[in-house]
Chains A and B, each alone.
Chain A
């Protein structure tokens, strides 16, 4: 992306007032809590799956499936639903 594209993009526009005070965005903070839980769940599934790879392949499959389902939900990007 070159400088002109940066300037033109609506999500990258400059603040309206130069002296505007920063204020935390509540929506972003709620998503942070949701994503923390999601990340922990996927990592836990991966750890569980890796531990069962040799002795119980079915359990490993289940862990992979669990991780896949959680990640698919994140990829779907329905952020309003996550924090509803």
Chain B
């Protein structure tokens, strides 16, 4: 594994594969950051249950756009233009989970609880990271991402606590997003994943990150008094 600390000024000394993989991971990360607002701004900003929640949606969207911006800046500095993901509609997203829209408050909450949590795991891959500009950017993002997760988790837990129809709706939403989240970690047997680790651009295999994530979210779901969905049903990437 590469243990060298690479800066923009020294990236030209790196192997072509290093630059290629860095460009790829930044492109995917940018797509993941901007896709959230594309999923929920249209319907959840006007449709959130209270004014306070509307402000939460707007603030969350601004923070995610800022995360996109930070990643896109790093990509731009190495010559990679990722602005196509700003122009894409949701059906074109790299990640299958984002080829949809969020139209209900429980989906907004569960998206924060489960999918933003995957986002946090993805960011954690870069802590540490051989490419120092990327590591420094991520260090400024993780607290905001944790805030999105906490909000979503608390909202989901409150709805589950109310029981009855509210609980059924939150269970249905978890059933939908749970497998999407697991798929977001990618194939367990990914050769590319090994190359990312080799170059110090990621620190865990996909399967390991997914396993840690699963243990974390299962504990939350159980505490909410909800059923853990079948982790294999409807999965695309195993």
Contacts and interface: CB of A to CB of B under 8 A. Distances in A.
Q: Do A and B bind each other?
A: yes
Interface of A: 1-3, 6, 9, 11-12, 14-15, 18-25, 27-29, 31-32, 35-36, 38-39, 42-43, 45-46, 49-50, 53, 57, 60-61, 63-64, 67-68, 71-72, 74-75, 77-79
Contacts of A50: 52, 55
B187 A2 contact: yes
B87 A28 contact: no
A52 B80 CA distance: 42
Interface string B180-194: 000000110011100
A34 B8 CA distance: 23
Question: Which secondary structure dominates chain A's binding surface?
Answer: helix
Among A25, A32, A38, A42, chain B packs the most CB atoms within 10 A around the CB of A25
B16 A14 contact: yes
Nearest to B51: A60
A72 B46 CA distance: 11
Interface of B: 8, 11-12, 16, 19-20, 23-24, 27-28, 37-38, 41-42, 45-46, 51-52, 54-55, 58-59, 61-62, 65-66, 68-69, 72-73, 75-84, 86-88, 94-96, 186-187, 190-192, 237
A38 B81 CA distance: 19
A-B pairs with lowest CB-CB distance, top 5? A28-B76, A18-B16, A42-B62, A67-B58, A77-B87
A64 B55 contact: yes
Contacts of B78: 22, 24
Contacts of A61: 51
